[in-house]
Structure 1
Amino acid sequence: MSTESKTDSRSPARPFWLRGDFAPVADEVTAHELPVEGELPRELAGTYMRNGPNPKDGFSPHWWFGDGMVHGIHLAGGKARWYRNRYVRTARFTGAEAGSERERRLRGGGTSNTHVIEHAGRILSMVEASLPMQLDRELSTVGAFDFGGAVDTPMTAHPKRCPLTGELHFFGYQVVRPYLTYYIADARGRVISKREIEVDGASYLHDFAITERYAVFFDSPARMIRDWGAGIPFEWNDSHQTRIGVVPRAGGKVRWFDVESGQLCHTANAFERAGTIVLEAVRSARFEAAPPYLHRWEVDLESGRTRERQLDDRLVEFPRIDDRRVGRPHRYTYVLEMLDFVDGAPTKSLLRRYEAETGTSLAQELGPGQIPGECVFVPKSAQSPEDSGWLLSFVRDRERDISELVVLDAGHFGAAPVARVRLPQRVPFGIHGSWVPAVDEAHRSWAAR
């Protein structure tokens, strides 16, 4: 179990990312046959994985810079078979740093702490400053992964898988040319397209979106002025016009559309509708200096006109949808609503669902002292409707000082959880995660498409 000092981790003198719900845990733990309250759906066969910063020495100068730790819980046959948490063993973590500064950083020399996905049978831990780190299915680190040498820039932590083709779309941005590179890997993990997108310099580009025919980028005034390594490498430039870039997936001219000054945080989705690209994402007025709100942009490809509006006045982040709707119109968006900020961090959070057709939203209350993180949607089958599935989230119970995996029925959002899995240690508030189906189930799901 963790040997963290509760006194130190809760001290108000420490920054928010080192105390309270964010405080790192010290130990890597393995536990089997976890206790379950309620009934786990037998259809849930796979592993929920979630990445996040967890500095091994208990300190980092910024939340973004802590060592990556992936937490995983494997479900099968209506049981929680195991829990593991493992550090992502980058060169910095192991002390094996070597080579030039850029080569060292690119090949996993720093941290890998933002997201974790599966593609073409590989588990990839990601951070936007370098290449992914490959993990095995028990979360042990294999090493840096460069798609057989085809990727020679950093890779975003937010790739998008096209549900129609199985392709993985991703990009890399950096302070030197090429400033922005757009990649496509096929369903077997081979890079089939690599394209430089001409921009006059790199901006903070944490996320992007795809539609059935386009990739959608956001060029903001948060300009990259130096490489990663010595603090946050971005500086806000009010004179730089905020733009949305529309890039044909099959090749062709890139078009840029001016929009109101602001910063894109995380995208929910984008899709095409009657000659217009609709982008739904979380936006703030400035980089790291303004609250985030759910926002929608509409880009008329024929007239060039853009329309923008804030969808709600609640502070939200980490939007997720049913991934089978990526690039196509979606009905539901699930977000983390953040409340009662103190010293830069929320003291309360809850899950909220927005419905696109009605413009309404619904809160998921989990009870006093219950602090959920980002949720992930898992469909009941490849053919099931958009609300037929489950939502998974790591939740901290402050009153009992424990963490649980909470399973919600997406078709009855707002109702009590169908199951809670007690975890053997606290899981710090982290960033992004994925559901990785069991190998045989993943094969059947793809073959059914």
Structure 2
Amino acid sequence: MTSQTTSHTRRRILQGATFAAAAGAAGGLGLGRYAPAARAATPGPAAGGTGAGSNPFMEGAFAPATDELTAFDLKVVGRVPRDLNGRFLRTGPNALGIEDPRAHHWMLGDGMVHGVRLRGGRAEWYRNRWVRSSQVTKKLGETYPGEVPPDDFACNTHVIPYKGRVLALQEGGPLPYELDGELNTLRPYDFRATLKGAFTAHTKYDAAADELHAVAYYPTWDHVRHIMIDRTGRVARTTEVPVPDAPMMHDFALTEKYVVIVDVPITFDAAAAEAGALVPYIWNDKRPMRVGVLPRAGGSTRWFEVDPIYYSHTLNAYDQGESVIVDFTSMPAPFHAAGRGNGGPSATGAPALDRWTIDLRAGRVRSSRVDDRPQEFPRVNESLVSRRHRYGYTASAAAMWTAYETVDGVPPDTKFTNCLVKHDMLRSTQQVHRFPKGAAASEPVFVPRRGARDEDDGYIVSYVNDPDRGATDLVILSAQDFTGRPLARVQLPGRVPLGFHGSWVAA
């Protein structure tokens, strides 16, 4: 396959590598000074329902933002906790210059990062900026500074803080892009010239070890790579794990001892790529699904076959005696990454929260359902990544699950609601913070309170659409009073389209 795949085809493949990212403008209104920084024509259906031949991933809660906005001194309903000092950032695909939305795949949208700066009980500013890849700068009529990196793409899947930097991430080839404190794109970032080849959107940072871990895949590789970046910020070790059929591996899990690699039967289709398919990956019924356990220090991977599912996102994982515990969200098999005519990925059922108990002594994996309500984008107190956690947080956005299941001839489910969920894994209980119809909720991110001693002593921050304003609020909840009234709703000057992942960046 490597020798037969042309460089042109490879570039097209990599531009579509974001397909696995998910399971995924009003005026000032008294929000302070408002100024559009850049504007691009993005034809598309009006925000609303999904008609025949339309693209549900380009409408309603998904409709791309058409302006880069800057607004200061944002209006707040309630009070922003004074110890919240930093920026809440979130990214996602935001199509720029699309001529025919019906021919567009949602995951191919150019990345746009949205951010709110909080300090001293105030919401100082909101900004949204496209990641300036070479393609985006060209569309905006700007000049790309410097040499264009290989496999260039406007990273649209995650944005993380790392050693004083802010990095926008993508999987399947492109380098991360570094952003400054005001979300302007600085440059591609290669970890001090030590990253060779692809990276991932879903890194795992072990705070105790001060290590950043990644599992990267690439359409022309016969393996995947576990990459460990040490406390110096350089790639210290790369372990190649042989894997056939070039599968997509969107996420993985990390414990103190192991890297958990999830080999989902979604594989690269070279013929589809050569024929010009936007997303040349297919669900492969002939291929078993496996989970691999690789020692963090390197060595051989031990594989376990499991029932096929779509492994979407990891909540967290940890070691427990001779077992490895992995909490994650999944969707039923098959999962159609390329979609079935709906403009994005297509699922055969809503995502839920699951657990694997990988018994290393007995050589088997036990699967269990933690919570069967539709939910995605699981997050944990980041200080506990790779260590035992008690609490986890997920989101449910009705518009997202409806779009995933909107296929010609198959009506979407109407039971979906908008909410955030707090899971107590010790007591096997959940608390639900509900939002009204049309108030699509994005990924919940936990921010510890200053001086916190308990795992859940802090805040949950999430972008939530406000259907009454036709714009988005940054909602701040007390994690220990999860179902109570929000501590604050910061009113933004426009909508934050449903997208992917983000982070709290402490000042």
Q: Same fold (TM over 0.5)?
A: yes
Letter in 1 for 2:184: S
Is 334-343 or 213-222 further displaced after alignment?
334-343
Matches for 1:275-424 after TM superposition, within 5 Å: 275-284=322-331, 285-288=333-336, 289-291=347-349, 292-339=351-398, 341-344=401-404, 348-381=417-450, 383-424=452-493
SS at match of 2:220: coil
Q: Which runs of 5+ in 2 are unaligned?
A: 1-24, 27-38, 140-146, 337-346, 406-413
C-alpha change, 1:344 and 1:164, in structure 2 (3 Å) is same
Distance between the aligned counterparts of 2:251 and 2:43, measured in 1? 35
User: 2:287 — aligned with what?
Assistant: 240
- Correspondences of 1:48-447 after superposition (within 5 Å): 48-58=88-98, 59=101, 61-95=104-138, 107=150, 109-129=152-172, 130-226=174-270, 230-284=277-331, 285-288=333-336, 289-291=347-349, 292-339=351-398, 341-344=401-404, 348-381=417-450, 383-438=452-507
RMSD: 2.3
Asked if the contact 2:396/2:441 (under 8 Å) is kept, the reply is: no
**Structure 1 SS opposite 2:443:** coil
State the Cα distance separating 1:381 from its structure 2 match. Answer: 3.3
Q: Which of residues 54, 67, 74 is equivalent to 1:27?
A: 67
The CA distance in 2 between the partners of 1:27 and 1:339, in whole Å, is: 25
Change (3 A) 1:150 1:201: farther
- Contact 2:43–2:97 under 8 Å retained in 1: no
Query: How far, CA to CA, are the matches of 1:381 and 1:188 in structure 2?
Result: 27
CA 1:370–1:338: 2 relative to 1, 3 Å: closer
Distance 1:211 1:106, change over 3 A: farther
Decide whether aligned partners of structure 1 residues 195 and 281 sit closer, same or farther in structure 2, where only a CA change above 3 A counts: same
C-alpha contact 2:357 2:367 (8 A) present in aligned 1? yes
After superposition, the C-alpha distances for 1:347-380 in whole angstroms (9 at most, x for unaligned) are 7421111111111111102345422111100001
Shift of 1:383: 4.9
Aligned identity (percent) is 39
1:12: how far off? 2.5
Whether the 8 Å contact between 2:439 and 2:467 is mirrored in structure 1 is: yes
Amino acid aligned to 2:137: T
Matched residue SS, 1:400: coil
- CA displacement at 1:309 relative to structure 2: 1.5
Distance 1:12 1:55 in 2: 18
- Which residue identity does 1:64 align to in structure 2? M
Matched residue, 1:10: 48
How far residue 230 of structure 1 moved from its aligned partner, in angstroms, is: 4.0
> 1:444: which partner in 2?
none
AA aligned to 1:412 is D
How far did residue 314 of structure 1 move? 1.2
Q: Give secondary structure in 2 for the equivalent of 1:278.
A: strand
Alpha-carbon distance change, 381 to 233 in structure 1, aligned in 2, over 3 angstroms = farther
* Residue 46 (structure 1) aligned with residue 86 (structure 2): yes
Question: How many positions carry a matched residue from both structures?
Answer: 431
Q: Distance in 1 between matches of 2:227 and 2:183?
A: 26
What is the one-letter code of the residue matched to 2:119? A
Residue 182 to residue 198, structure 1, CA distance change in 2 (3 Å): same
Q: Which runs of 5+ in 1 are unaligned?
A: 97-103, 439-449
Cα distance in 2 for residues equivalent to 1:177 and 1:5: 37
Counterpart amino acid of 2:449?
A: K
Equivalent position SS for 1:17: helix
SS in 1 for 2:371: coil
Kindly tell me: are residues 275 and 18 of structure 1, through their superposed partners in 2, closer, same or farther at Cα, counting changes over 3 Å? same
Q: Tell me the alpha carbon deviations over residues 122-171 of structure 1, each in whole angstroms, 9 at most, x when there is no partner.
A: 21111113211111111111121122332222211000000211110012
Greater CA drift, 117-126 or 52-61: 52-61
Distance in 2 between the 1:425 and 1:6 partners? 17
Higher RCO (C-alpha under 8 Å, 6+ residues apart): 2
Name the TM-score, length of structure 1 as normaliser.
0.90
One of 36, 54, 74 as aligned partner of 2:76: 36
- Give 1:253 shift: 1.9
Cα distance between partner residues in 1 of 2:403 and 2:291: 33
Matched residues in 2 for 1:181 and 1:264: separation? Answer: 18
